[in-house]
Amino acid sequence: QVQLVESGGGLVQPGGSLRLSCTVSGSIFSGYAVGWYRQAPGKQRDLVASMTTDGSTNYADSVKGRFTISRVNVKGTVYLQMNSLKPEDTAVYYCNIRRAAREYWGQGTQVTVSS
């Protein structure tokens, strides 16, 4: 059974950095596209960053230039490096993998940007 576990969230001051990790087990990881989504209180879950199986990336306009998605297929791991964090980045961040009609989600990790 495919399982995703996020880690690396926490409390950080504005302008600070965090790196989120997502470990994937029970799948042939290299065959999946990967992504990070976030959901703030009272808002919908939105795409933050994604990467296809060939390495093509896509970022939300609000995070472009500040966040970087990466993957290490042999480790089954997805990363989200977050720099220059802003209070509006506060949300629960979710890892996602998908292939064709199938997709899987992690439980989420809380990121809070506040002084």
Residues above pLDDT 90, as percent of the chain:
91
Strand arrangement of the beta sheet that strand 18-25 belongs to: 3-7, 18-25, 77-82, 67-72
Q: Are strands 102-105 and 18-25 parallel, antiparallel or unpaired?
A: unpaired
Whose structure tokens read 């720099």?
A: 83
Report in angstroms the alpha-carbon separations of 31 from 45, 51, 54, 103. Answer: 24, 12, 10, 12
Residues above pLDDT 70, as percent of the chain:
100
pLDDT for the residue numbered 40: 96
Residue 1: which pLDDT band, with cuts at 50, 70 and 90? confident
Is residue 24 pLDDT above 90, yes or no?
A: yes
Residues 79-108: pLDDT tens digits? Answer: 999 999 999 999 999 999 999 889 999 999
pLDDT for the residue numbered 28: 80
